Structure 1
Amino acid sequence: MPLRFALTAGEPAGIGPDLSLLLSQQAQSHVLICIAAHSLLAERAALLKLSVDLIQVTPADWPSTPAPVGALYVWDTPLAAPCTPGILDARNGAYVLTTLTRAAEGCLKGDFAGMITAPVHKGVINEAGIAFSGHTEFLADLTQTEQVVMLLATEGLRVGLVTTHLPLRDVADAVTADTLTRVARILDHDLKHKFGIEQPRILACGLNPHAGEGGHLGREEIEIIEPTLASLRQEGLNLIGPLPADTLFTPKHLEHADAVLAMYHDQGLTVLKFLGFGRAVNVTLGLPIIRTSVDHGTALDLAGTGNIDSGSLHVALTTAYQMAESQQRATKG
């Protein structure tokens, strides 16, 4: 039986509405509800010369079958101000958060099996007077989740992050035994329960060059990372490392790995985006809901042009479907 998913169209002046409309041109295996302004989608479809039947739905009449090819289910969420492709308007900052809130609360209530998010523009939301640091933090607050983990994935590689958006000079202080423990446990748990991997094999990066070179290039490995990994292994986690990041990302090591645990943002994501930019997905682990997203930004200069690549959104959609199906099988089992 098809599951139901929410798709938030993101920043209205960006390519999120365009990407959402393009999904209508392909058959979906599950029910997909786009949470966006009906008027925005209609105007963008006309600009793109796309023939799309925008079918309005509400929580009172959720569909049970996927929309036919050429149609898109829309939960109308009105804009606060008219939108011109490529031109940001702070008046629509609250609208973006309303779409996210509707999707997340729908997931919590069981209306949706998961949510897929098109890109938002953090700057314009903050210009609207709303403190916003990103999807991940917003959804963590909304679901009252203390610790979340950013995971990016492309074909053949998954990378989880111990720290995310921090200045490099602050990273070493943020790699604590407590943080590493919580992140590793979440990564292991969600690989099992949301990806269906029975015993995940996780490679952990060192923080310093050559994983500290026995203490000559930093002592974080000796004093924090190695003891923490050893303790987690006693709990049954299959953790290998810490390994030097400059050699970990090679076929020899990755061949039998289910995920890599990187200590900071660019250590892991530079390699992943080199391998799969435009074909990668951003997954938020640790939440009580399934959330996936594209691996790119709003691309304001491309909005309304038709010159966009929808590859990442398709991967985000497929990943959300697979995660929900895996959870459903585990629940039935």
Structure 2
Amino acid sequence: MNQKPIIGITMGDAAGVGPEIIMKSLTHKRINDQAIPLVIGDQKMLERAAQVLNIDITFKTVQKDEEFQVQNDEILCLDLDLLPKNLAYGEVSAEAGHAAFEYLSTAIELANRGRIDAICTAPLNKEALHKGGHLYPGHTEILAELTNTKDFSMMLSSPKLKVIHVTTHVGLLDAVKMINPDRVYDVVRMAHETLKSAGNHQPKIAVCGINPHAGENGLFGNGEEGEKVIPGVKRAQQDGIDVQGPLPADTLFFRAVRGDFDIVVAMYHDQGHGPIKVLGLDAGVNITVGLPIIRTSVDHGTAFDIAGTGIADEKSMLEALNQAIELAPKK
């Protein structure tokens, strides 16, 4: 019988909804039946969330070098004890930003050492992260640096649509400058390999154009599709990858949801994120592709406006945990 995978759950920014959606998710029996959750964060913040939610969960505090074993209905917690008990809900805090970084870096260390089998992250706040002294655009870039990964991409997965990004957390003008044939090829290749490893042996991939109507043969833009996108697509086709593009983004996502394609390659953040989020914030899961470790995440932010109220929906966190369990190496 296979041993359950150990899933490291990072608490994210404790001033947001992270502790609440983690606590709600851990009440779902199937998560504990299929995996050993290890929450990496501040136990007192989780206990505060449990009080808000009126949830009764017993924690077992562990150290990072001991064996991660559970008994009865305990939930393992690696308590870094970085935050004050009275941390304000819904406010940008350097303390919370720094703590969120430490939770993630600890999880990455454990994954690199083979102590945990996958990482599932609750949301962090980028402004707080920067105030805490960590000048990264987000989770993905931290994961890439701390795993020495050069080629990586953000993939958003929902029941009806999968999207992978050529660029993510940069301004639109900078994104267009960063797009080049090698990067397009690498992202198409990563999309192909990711879906193939998940059991789709010949995934159908579509690539968005940069300009309206994918440039319409030079009518829109300054030839960016021909210069930056088409050579990368052709190179992937020569490798035997089933990829088409560049195609007009205004119709492509409809076609993908209809089933014409298994995944869409988006050129920049909002081009890919918008369609996923229209389908529902609780449906999307963020998966970092190209890393040597498995990482999934909710596809929503810290929701400071509702933090501490107990009304945050845990569906995206549940789906992220399910994906982490499914993708974790089998023992």
The equivalent position to 1:314 in structure 2, one of 304, 318, 321, is 318
Counting only pairs closer than 5 Å after superposition, residues 284-303 of structure 1 correspond to structure 2 as 284-303=288-307
1:253 Cα deviation from its structure 2 partner:
7.3
**Contact 2:208 2:266 (C-alpha < 8 Å) held by counterparts:** yes
1:105 Cα deviation from its structure 2 partner:
1.2
- Would you say 1:5 and 2:7 are equivalent positions? yes
1:210 Cα deviation from its structure 2 partner:
1.2
Counting only pairs closer than 5 Å after superposition, residues 63-142 of structure 1 correspond to structure 2 as 63-64=68-69, 68=73, 71-82=74-85, 83-142=87-146
**Contact 1:293 1:316 (C-alpha < 8 Å) held by counterparts:** yes
Counting only pairs closer than 5 Å after superposition, residues 1-333 of structure 1 correspond to structure 2 as 1=2, 2-27=4-29, 28=31, 29-64=34-69, 68=73, 71-82=74-85, 83-193=87-197, 195-218=198-221, 219-251=223-255, 254-324=258-328, 327-328=329-330
1:132 Cα deviation from its structure 2 partner:
2.7
* TM-score computed with the length of structure 2 as normaliser: 0.91
1:288 Cα deviation from its structure 2 partner:
0.6
Residue type of the alignment partner of 2:174: D
Distance (Å, rounded) in 1 between the aligned partners of 2:40 and 2:152 = 24
1:274 Cα deviation from its structure 2 partner:
0.2
Residue type of the alignment partner of 1:139: L
Alignment: residue pair count: 324
1:85 Cα deviation from its structure 2 partner:
2.5
Moved over 6 A (4+): none
For the residue of structure 2 that corresponds to 1:276, the secondary structure is coil
Distance (Å, rounded) in 1 between the aligned partners of 2:43 and 2:76 = 10
The 1:222/1:133 distance shift into structure 2, 3 A limit, reads closer
For the residue of structure 1 that corresponds to 2:297, the secondary structure is strand
The 1:30/1:127 distance shift into structure 2, 3 A limit, reads same
**Contact 1:31 1:67 (C-alpha < 8 Å) held by counterparts:** no
Distance (Å, rounded) in 2 between the aligned partners of 1:316 and 1:252 = 22
Distance (Å, rounded) in 2 between the aligned partners of 1:253 and 1:52 = 39
Stretches of structure 1 lacking an aligned partner (at least 5 in a row): none
Distance (Å, rounded) in 2 between the aligned partners of 1:37 and 1:64 = 19
Quote the RMSD (CA, aligned, Å). 1.9
* TM-score computed with the length of structure 1 as normaliser: 0.91
Name whichever of 266-275 and 250-259 sits farther off: 250-259
Stretches of structure 2 lacking an aligned partner (at least 5 in a row): none
Percent same amino acid among aligned pairs?
37
For the residue of structure 2 that corresponds to 1:75, the secondary structure is strand
For the residue of structure 1 that corresponds to 2:115, the secondary structure is coil
Residue type of the alignment partner of 2:77: V
**Contact 1:10 1:117 (C-alpha < 8 Å) held by counterparts:** yes
The 1:317/1:253 distance shift into structure 2, 3 A limit, reads closer
1:232 Cα deviation from its structure 2 partner:
1.2
Residue type of the alignment partner of 2:26: S
**Contact 2:10 2:40 (C-alpha < 8 Å) held by counterparts:** yes
Name whichever of 12-21 and 54-63 sits farther off: 54-63
Distance (Å, rounded) in 2 between the aligned partners of 1:261 and 1:67 = 44
Residue type of the alignment partner of 2:204: R
1:19 Cα deviation from its structure 2 partner:
1.2
Distance (Å, rounded) in 2 between the aligned partners of 1:202 and 1:167 = 25
The 1:131/1:253 distance shift into structure 2, 3 A limit, reads closer
1:156 Cα deviation from its structure 2 partner:
1.4
Name whichever of 252-261 and 3-12 sits farther off: 252-261
Residue type of the alignment partner of 1:216: L
1:252 Cα deviation from its structure 2 partner:
7.0
**Contact 1:201 1:239 (C-alpha < 8 Å) held by counterparts:** yes
**Contact 1:30 1:66 (C-alpha < 8 Å) held by counterparts:** no
